[in-house]
């Protein structure tokens, strides 16, 4: 319930409020778009906070944007270990830089009397939000390594499921709390955009990163005050023109994009016969895969037991993969007692598929972040990223006449025995999990 609010309701609320609220602010208070500068109130700490914060966060968000906008390209690039390590290192460095920057900025707002005088409650809320969001991001990168790779199968499709109005929170429901909190934080930041100085991001004030510092000269004379007033008017006019130009450019690009799509739609695709064959083959493969998946799902809906194979085919050291009743990968082994041992192969850390080879310690390995699981208990090794055991699954061994010889029940108890029936004549089935659940 809480998950569906935080992962589905909140995103739509945030997107709607952000779009409508930003439009409303632009219509009613266009001159408040640029973030009011407080450089003339305090400059030293501002430099040490603002520069690292903006450089760090822009780099991090650029990475986020590319991963979200081009998931396939990003996903295939991240299969190269060197690229993955470089991306993670640069991302973490930039994240740490942003974190240091925001701490300095927060310290400045809380300690400089002059800056405090112009600080609103919303400024403090935004600072806190950005601090926690960056902290959660850095913690994600540190504690759940290789996010640049695993996010392509979890948070990226989740993000698109929200944008394409087919929300699927199950894609991220099993992620660790820190990662989920980072996602929720992103929606909260979006929610705050129209009500805070965050809206200045939309004015794309990138030149502030490299422009020379402003020189502020205080003067009490009336002439100077008039000049300052004129300057302020000129400045706000410039801001307005900049905003208008930004909107015009965005509008032109958008219309060009839409027009291009329309023209292409009416022209129809221009593809060679060879390309058409490749595309058709791809489409056919895709359809076959969807059909296979649906057939598996149907089989699991209609039956209480699914055949894995003969008992004689199972090995104590090399697992046989199959799809369990949750449509997740699982492994079948031959247990020390000569009976089957069925265990889920969906890693309890971030959902990677666990390998099927048993090592000398009787463990199987999840290669994503190195978690070893003992197959007899399902327990991960101490210190592993995975904290909970892989569940064992219920099974039944049936003879040629269809009689159940032995079975593992929900509580983990084993009932019956092979009663001298040779393993070649025994079929192994995985059973529908009973409501008490597998152990």
- What residues line the site for ligand FES (CB under 6 A)? 347, 349-350, 352, 366, 368-369, 371, 385-386
Query: Which listed residue (34, 50, 133, 196) binds ligand HEM by CB under 6 A?
Result: 133
- Cβ closer to ligand FES: 135 or 384? 384
Nearest to residue 339, comparing CAs of 402, 428, 399?
428
d(CA 336, CA 147): 38
193 binds ligand HEM (CB under 6 A): no
Q: Which of residues 84-103 bind ligand HEM (CB under 6 A)?
A: 88, 91-92, 95, 98
Tokens of 424: 């070649």
Given ligand HEM, ligand FES, none, residue 385, with its beta carbon under 5 to 8 Å by kind, binds ligand FES
Please state the closest distance from residue 106 (CB atom) to ligand HEM, in A: 15
Say how many Å lie between the first and final Cα of the chain, rounded.
25
d(CA 138, CA 182): 10
134 binds ligand HEM (CB under 6 A): yes
The alpha carbons of the chain give a radius of gyration, in whole angstroms, of: 29
Q: What does DSSP assign to residue 381? A: P
* C-beta separation of 324 from 393 below 8 A: yes
Q: Using alpha carbons only, give the angle 398, 403, 406 rounded to the nearest 5 degrees.
A: 50
Please state the closest distance from residue 33 (CB atom) to ligand HEM, in A: 19
- Cβ closer to ligand FES: 339 or 347? 347
Given ligand HEM, ligand FES, none, residue 151, with its beta carbon under 5 to 8 Å by kind, binds ligand HEM
Given ligand FES, ligand HEM, none, residue 135, with its beta carbon under 5 to 8 Å by kind, binds none
- Cβ closer to ligand HEM: 12 or 321? 12
Q: Which of residues 46-75 bind ligand HEM (CB under 6 A)?
A: 57, 60, 63-64
- Cβ closer to ligand HEM: 163 or 250? 163
Q: Residue 377: which residues within 8 A CB-CB, separation 6 or more?
A: 389
- Cβ closer to ligand HEM: 64 or 320? 64
d(CA 91, CA 99): 12
- Cβ closer to ligand FES: 369 or 374? 369
Buried b (16+ CB within 10 A) or exposed e, 258-292: eeeeeeeeeeeeeeeeeeeeeeeeeeeeeeeeeee
351 binds ligand HEM (CB under 6 A): no
Please state the closest distance from residue 188 (CB atom) to ligand HEM, in A: 8
Percentage helix, strand, coil for the chain under 3-state DSSP, each rounded to 5 = 60, 10, 30
d(CA 388, CA 407): 25
Single out the segment in contact with ligand HEM by CB under 6 A; choices: 10-18, 109-117, 138-146, 308-316. Answer: 138-146
Residues that bind ligand HEM (CB under 6 A): 57, 60, 63-64, 88, 91-92, 95, 98, 133-134, 137-138, 140-141, 147-148, 151, 155, 159, 182-183, 186, 189
């Amino acid at each position: 319930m809480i998950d569906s609010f935080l992962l589905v309701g909140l995103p739509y609320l945030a997107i709607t409020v952000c779009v409508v609220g930003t439009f409303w602010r632009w219509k009613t208070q266009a001159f408040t778009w640029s973030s009011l500068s407080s450089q003339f109130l305090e400059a030293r700490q501002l430099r040490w906070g603002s520069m690292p914060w903006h450089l760090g966060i822009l780099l991090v968000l650029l990475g986020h944007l590319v991963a979200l906008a081009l998931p396939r390209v990003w996903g295939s690039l991240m299969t190269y270990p060197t690229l993955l390590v470089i991306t993670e290192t640069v991302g973490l460095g930039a994240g740490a830089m942003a974190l240091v920057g925001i701490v300095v900025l927060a310290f400045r707002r809380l300690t400089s009397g002059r800056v405090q005088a112009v600080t609103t409650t919303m400024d403090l809320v935004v600072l806190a939000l950005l601090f926690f969001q960056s902290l959660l991001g850095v913690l994600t990168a540190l504690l759940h390594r290789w996010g640049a790779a695993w996010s392509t199968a979890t948070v990226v499709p989740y993000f698109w499921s929200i944008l394409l109005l087919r929300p699927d929170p199950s894609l991220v429901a099993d992620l660790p709390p820190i990662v989920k909190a980072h996602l929720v934080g992103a929606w909260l930041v979006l929610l705050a955009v129209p009500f805070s100085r965050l809206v200045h991001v939309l004015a794309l004030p990138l030149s502030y990163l490299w422009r020379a510092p402003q020189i502020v000269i205080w003067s009490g004379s009336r002439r100077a005050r008039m000049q300052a007033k004129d300057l302020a008017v000129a400045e706000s006019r410039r801001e307005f023109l900049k905003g208008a130009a930004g909107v015009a450019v965005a509008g032109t690009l958008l219309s060009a994009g839409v027009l291009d799509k329309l023209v292409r739609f009416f022209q129809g695709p221009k593809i060679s016969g060879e390309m058409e064959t490749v595309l058709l083959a791809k489409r056919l493969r895709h359809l076959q895969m969807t059909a296979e998946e649906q057939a598996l799902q149907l089989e699991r809906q209609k039956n209480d037991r699914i055949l894995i194979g003969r008992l004689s085919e199972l090995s104590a050291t090399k697992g046989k993969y199959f799809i369990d009743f949750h449509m997740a990968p699982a492994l079948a082994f031959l247990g020390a007692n000569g009976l089957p041992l069925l265990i889920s192969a969906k890693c309890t850390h971030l959902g990677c598929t666990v390998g099927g080879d048993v090592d000398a310690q009787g463990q199987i390995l999840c290669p994503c972040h190195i978690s070893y699981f003992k197959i007899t208990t399902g327990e991960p090794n101490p210190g592993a990223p995975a904290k909970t055991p892989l569940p064992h699954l219920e099974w039944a061994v049936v003879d040629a006449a269809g009689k159940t010889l032995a079975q593992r029940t929900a509580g983990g108890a084993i009932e019956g025995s092979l009663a001298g029936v040779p393993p070649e004549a025994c079929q192994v089935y995985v059973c529908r999990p009973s409501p008490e659940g597998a152990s």
